[in-house]
Amino acid sequence: MSLPEVDVCIIGSGAGGAPMALELGRAGFKVVVLEKGRHYQPQDFIHDEILNSRRNFFMPLPWEEPHLVRHGAQSRYERSNVAWTANCVGGGTVHMSGFFYRLKPVDFRLRSTLGAVSGSTLADWPISYEELAPFYDKAEAELGVSGEAVPHPFAEPRSGPYPLPPLDVHPVASEIDKACKAMGWHSLPTARGIISRPYRGRAPCSYCSLCGSYGCETGAKSGTNASLIPAALATGNVDLRPGCMARSVEVDKQGRAKSVIYLDENGVVQEQPAKVVVVSCTAVESARLLLNSTSGRFPRGLANGSGLVGKNLLFSSFGESYATFRVSKQGEARPWLKDPAPFVNRSVQDFYLLPDSRFGFRKGGTLGFMWAHPNPIHAAVELAGDGKSALFGKALKDKMREYRDSRILQFEVYAEWLPTSGTYVSVSEDTKDKYGIPVAAITVERHPMDFAATRFLVERGEEVLLRLDPDDVRRKGVMGETTILQHGTCRFGNDAAASVLDKHCRAHEVPNLYVVDGSFMPTGGSVPSTLTIAANSFRVAHHLVRAMKG
């Protein structure tokens, strides 16, 4: 059934979709937001690891809505829920940890800085840091970000302090500060998308320690579900429709987007006409939607005349190590081990860009320090291991007793994921989801520089951990990937032959179609990208409001 036309139809309510809804609603435009998942309320966010992390509260089940994943074009696809973020109002911002870093000026001109990188499709951004900076300010204020900006070699320019002071931190933060200072490095307070004081009607953090993988029952975490979506709905101009799965974007005879076909919460096919369509489903799912939106005008998928929709997919390189402190052995000498405070909030960015390539790369990344996540089932599975070395019975019980007597400090590495022609999203006509829609098929071929950079950063992080004199330091890995951080499948640029979107994230071939999730990013940077996606969406919204009013 075709519904009454609105000014703008936005698909997705996360870091990209919510800023658009808020700004367009404030400007007086009639907006419909289609969200695939449920609209969870604070009382739905309970501290249940099985519910949140091991069922389909956030991620769909792979036998109902699979992603197909393979490493290398010659490998076989496997069904997985890899590269889903969160299917609910607010998207991945609901269960994020809220590490809110900005990109650095170099991230916008990485191709110019590094030159041509063999085996990579590296490209500069068509905008500069200076153009995005005012919208970083706006995103931090609208979402609610706590932090403290301090000088360091790769500090990005700021116009002022963070909207909120930093969260309280565990005493181990000062130990990390001392260790880094002794090595001539800079230990930085990590900005968080978590409010440290009452802010715009929201309660401050209760320091429960369950941020990542969980929703926030107090509203202190600055997911769009707690910040931007309520403000958008308050304008009276935004109609939020949860439980609605977009199937295709339709075009008229002139090739302009005219409507979104979707299945409503009852499984009934609906058509929502709109003057402008904004896609923000995540880089993987937005590419899937466009590739499935075929027509006589766009037989290879909407806005895909260049053949680049789905190409240049980026995740984030990942590595980590753990330091274990036995409380029974070290507790008296280090009373801070018994402090229950959950936040470390320390980062190191001294190796964000190296002066030369003597280590096999130049673009490095970020070390983020934190206490290990307290999920007990996850911990037990890790301790048990698998294969011939797996533990069970008394050996496993002894290991779990050691675990309960330990504080585990870890760091995570966020490193550059260089774009390659071998990492992309297509759609599979042979595999369809529970809605009958062809699913996303993901092919990954990593660039060797990714692994060199991640290994180097892991080694630097371990130097910090070893200076704290733990009982044990264990390396988890140097070849990982974070698929929740997604970018690149509709990269923006000035050349329509080499990009899908223009500098305002409008499709080169479809003048009333915009894509505002991480798809637009030619490079992912060496930090989590949630804040950058939100800032860019505010930037695009500023342009779109002026264009529609003009």
Query: What are the φ and ψ backbone dihedral angles of 435, each rounded to 5 degrees?
Result: -90, -5
Specify the pTM: 0.97
For 279-328, the three-class secondary structure string (H helix, E strand, C coil) is ECCCHHHHHHHHHHCCCCCCCCCCCCCCCCCCCCCEEEEEEEEEEEEEHH
CA dihedral for 224, 489, 269, 63, sign (positive or negative): negative
For 26-62, the three-class secondary structure string (H helix, E strand, C coil) is HCCCCEEEEECCECCCHHHCCCCHHHHHCCCCCCCCC
pLDDT in tens, the chain (550 residues): 789 999 999 999 999 999 999 999 999 999 999 999 999 999 999 999 999 988 999 999 999 999 999 999 999 999 999 999 999 999 999 999 999 999 999 999 999 999 999 999 999 999 999 999 999 999 999 999 999 999 999 999 999 999 999 999 999 999 999 999 999 999 999 999 999 999 999 999 999 999 999 999 999 999 999 999 999 999 999 999 999 999 999 999 999 999 999 999 999 999 999 999 999 999 999 999 999 999 999 999 999 999 999 999 999 999 999 999 999 999 999 999 999 999 999 999 999 999 999 999 999 999 999 999 988 889 888 888 888 889 889 988 888 898 899 999 999 999 999 999 999 999 999 999 999 999 999 999 999 999 999 999 999 999 999 999 999 999 999 999 999 999 999 999 999 999 999 999 999 999 999 999 999 999 999 999 999 999 999 999 999 999 999 8
CA dist 111 and 43 (Å) reads 47
Please report the DSSP string for 470-511 in residue order: -SEEEEEEEEEEEEEEEE-TT-B-S-TTT-SB-TTSBBSS-T
3-state class of 381 per DSSP? helix
Query: What are the φ and ψ backbone dihedral angles of 316, each rounded to 5 degrees?
Result: -130, 135
Which structural domains are found in the chain, ordered by start? 6-549 (3.50.50.60)
